[in-house]
Amino acid sequence: MQPFTQDTAVGCEVAGAPKTMTSYRTWLFSGGWPRFDGWPAKNVHTDLAAAQQSGLPTRAASGAMMQGYLYELMIDLFGARWLERGLLSLKFIRIVDVGDTITARARVSARHLEAGATRFDLQVWCENQHGEHVVVGSGTGWVMASG
């Protein structure tokens, strides 16, 4: 995937690399420090029984993991400077379980010329291997004028 330029068109859609959710990935993210007895910690993200006891049908990977996948996509599109000024507003709408493959996506909904930069307004989402949205929202990033 190429980073955005000032000429990136409204309607342009991009996708990050698909990531398959594994037990190990959820354990590392939500299971606490991996060098203690009883690792991973039992919670709705790491343990099926804990999730079901909480009323969930299955383990739920942390929404912050999907947020991280969208951050990675924004950095790929706008560079590390996105972390200084970029915006994301997200809703987590579906459980992500072990075995799901998640792809972060973005579509340019508007482009605005500003002093020394082009601002891109984006629709962003993560979807699973069935094309179902698991996270939806909006984002903003800037491409600085060259020269």
The answer to whether residue 30 is domain-embedded is yes
Q: Are 58 and 95 in contact (CB under 8 A)?
A: yes
The answer to whether residue 70 is domain-embedded is yes
Q: Percent of the chain scored above 70 by pLDDT?
A: 99
Give the model's confidence band at 106: pLDDT under 50 very low, under 70 low, under 90 confident, else very high. very high
Q: What is the pLDDT of residue 109?
A: 98
- SS3 of 52, please? helix
CB atoms within 10 A of CB 40: 20
The answer to whether residue 138 is domain-embedded is yes
Residue 113 has pLDDT above 90, yes or no: yes
The answer to whether residue 2 is domain-embedded is no
CA nearest to 19, candidates 137, 128, 132, 95: 128
CATH number reported for the structural domain that contains residue 85 in this entry: 3.10.129.10
The answer to whether residue 1 is domain-embedded is no
The answer to whether residue 6 is domain-embedded is no
Residue 33 has pLDDT above 90, yes or no: no
The answer to whether residue 130 is domain-embedded is yes
The answer to whether residue 4 is domain-embedded is no
Q: Mean pLDDT of all residues in the chain?
A: 92
Average pLDDT of the residues in 73-88: 96
Distance CA 138, CA 108 (A): 10
Average pLDDT of the residues in 92-114: 96
Q: What is the pLDDT of residue 3?
A: 93
The answer to pTM > 0.85 is yes
Distance CA 137, CA 25 (A): 24
Q: How many Cα atoms are found within 13 Å in the side-chain-facing hemisphere of 25?
A: 20
Q: pLDDT (tens digit, 9 = 90+) per residue, 2-17?
A: 899 999 999 999 999 9
Considering its fold, how many domains does the chain have in total?
A: 1
Domain that holds residue 28: 13-144
Q: What is the pLDDT of residue 17?
A: 97
